[in-house]
Amino acid sequence: MPTTAELELDRYLVPFDLRRVPQYGFDVLVLGGGAGGSLAALAAADCGASVGLLSKAGLTETNTQYAQGGMAAVLDRADSFEVHVADTLRVGCGLAESPVVEEVVRGGPAAVERLLALGAEFDRTADGQLDLLREGGHTFPRIIHSRGAATGTEIQRKLSEAIQAHPRITTFPETFVVDLLSGTDGEIVGALSRSAREEYVAYAAPEVVLATGGAGQIYRETTNPEIATADGVAMAFRAGADVRDLEFIQFHPTCLYIAGAARVLISEVVRGAGGVLRDRHGVRFMPDAHPEAELAPRDVVSRAAFERMVATDDTSVYLDLSEIDRDPHRLFPRISHICRFFGIDIARDPIPVRPGAHYMIGGICVDLDGRTNVPGLWATGECASTGIHGANRMGSNSLLEAIVLGARVGEAAATAAASVGKSHLERVAERKFSNPPPDVKVNIDDMIYSLKSLMWRQMGVDRNGLGMRDALADIAFWMRATGALALEGRRSLELVNMLTVARLATIGALEREESRGVHYRSDYPGSDPAWRAHLRLRPYTGRAGLNAVELVRDPLAEAVTHG
């Protein structure tokens, strides 16, 4: 039987009057300009739709921009689709869905060709072939990359150029989407945003695609850029969309850790090239943790690193590149440059690293075409839960997923838009609020830092019921406090989104009484066959907002083992 959890959330974050704001109209509205959003926009426009693409920051400031490792695709004769599928299902710990994995994996070669056609440049061998690297969980080398660990930058550069050059795509950078706008029957008819000048602007569209990225900024230690504040998942949930598997947050095991410095991802391709992890005493510990050592799945490596930090009373472990048989400065110029700034010679000096929140595996429930349960609303990329990753994402599959399924979502949204006609914002029920207490102030930055620290301590690599229950109480208190205030400025709106998704993720993690993939509970250290199911969180909607969340188990049809 489904269970419920208390949750009070306004349908809209700010009061608005659509008669008093500028309005734009499109066939398809895409929120987010990373790989998934860009491919959705390009595909929809190629189908003849007029497309508006809204980007929270500049067009190139996306999660894709920071993807270092590369993109997985079967390009070598020794490899096969069947092996790539089997690797993905194995690493997914029983929750990856075979039909979705098959669709994405088989789309790999065409996705690479599409990027090459756009002018993307990837590293090649001496004979001109694409240079393929191996990462954790992959049986064969199948990772294409650019300038060592600058793959995301290259892909984003070419996608942004294509977006700006397309005659049927209009871009709106520096535009923060506050909320999705619902019609009288609950269907999505557009979005309300704040422009770079802090003015409200409304966008009407019968089909809206969310491609807003992940939620890494709800954690103190993260590889994600500042824009990754869970906005898409939160606004979709407020609009009535089901979300699922939010307890599965993947932690990347190797983030550069120097006190006071921004956390910088040290790509998995470094370990694929021969980098090894050691503790403060120089002991290599991964061979004892897993047969694949440093190339074990990321959940295994992250937990082993965390446990070794605790055992040696150190703030980090150390990535040693000194035994790589090629010059690491040439192989990884960006990493070399960053480390050199801090006085680290990567060819000689161990790099201090620790786990950091990296990828939101769960997200908005969608089908293979990206449809949600809310008419007019679609999702793709990291904010969507398609079923490919299961309980533990295999490295470099996410860019592949975004490009293959992003294009599919765009085509489906354009087809739907052609059949329903224009959207009309007159059907939107406007939201008005009572005046907040004039003498109450909240330090937004302090609350954000407190949330990030709490999530790192109590919803991090190692969790338990007592800690998560305490976390839920704190998050609920902060949500009540912010709910009584007028939200002014982007940072306060981001805080509500972060609190919302942090609360939903913690509710899910507390409900899932087992350890599976990236979700590890010290009070339930084993996997439970009864929990071989997606955990769907369905909003209960009242007149003014949401007053509860229903938790539903969706069992998978077939067994997949975690080897």
CA angle 358, 363, 366 (to 5 degrees): 140
Q: Which of 168, 220, 298, 463 is catalytic?
A: 298
Q: Which is it for the CA torsion 224, 227, 231, 233, positive or negative?
A: negative
Query: Do β-strands 28-31 and 23-25 pair in parallel, antiparallel, or remain unpaired?
Result: unpaired
Contact 397, 104 (CB under 8 A): yes
Query: Helix axis angle, 108-117 relative to 98-106, nearest 10°?
Result: 40
Helices then strands, each counted (H, E), the chain: 15, 22
With residue 70 as reference, give the H or E element that holds it: none
DSSP string, 88-104: HHHHTTT-S-HHHHHHH
CA distance 298 to 3: 31
What are the DSSP calls for 367-392, one per residue?
-TT-B-SSTTEEE-GGGEE-SSSTTS
Question: Position 261: which residue type?
Answer: A
Write down how long the chain is: 563
381, amino acid identity: G
**Is residue 209 a contact partner of residue 383, using CB atoms and an 8 Å limit?**
no
Q: What gap in Å lies between CA 316 and CA 314, rounded to an integer? A: 6
- Let me know: does 33 contact 59? Beta carbons within 8 Å: yes
DSSP at 262: P
| Cα distance between residue 6 and residue 21, in whole Å | 35
Sign of CA dihedral 316, 322, 324, 327: positive
Active site residue 340: no
Contacts of 206 by beta carbon, 8 Å cutoff, 6+ apart: 27, 189, 376, 416, 417, 420, 421, 422, 423
| 521 touches 465 (CB < 8 A) | yes
- DSSP string for residues in 125-180: -TTSPBP-B--TT-SS--EE-STTT-HHHHHHHHHHHHHHH-TTEEEE-S-EEEEE
Residues taking part in catalysis: 298
